[in-house]
Amino acid sequence: MDLEDGGGELPTGRYIVVKALEDGVTIMGLTRGRDTRSHHSERLDAGEVMVAQFTQLTAAIKIRGNAEILTDVGTVNSG
């Protein structure tokens, strides 16, 4: 698959780490462009960790529930 021909997503190199502090934490990837919409979601249970990367398609990540979020600029808790 050739990423430069539109066959996939080119990464931007920025990652976040989400650690669920309770069952049922939802992570949603949101698109960029004129119409922002959800393009992918995951559900984590307590103790599960997900590493997510921003790409040309993913402009924002929404997190619902009690979680610890680690980024290159610091740590924040949701919920």
Domains of the chain from N-terminus onward: 3-78 (2.60.40.50)
What are the tens digits of pLDDT across the range 14-71?
Answer: 899 999 999 999 999 998 888 888 989 999 999 999 999 888 888 899 999 999 999 9
Distances (CA, A) of 48 to 18, 25, 33, 70, 71: 8, 9, 31, 14, 17
Q: Report the candidate in 45, 7, 6, 4 with the shortest Cα–Cα distance to residue 27.
A: 45
pLDDT of residue 1: 38
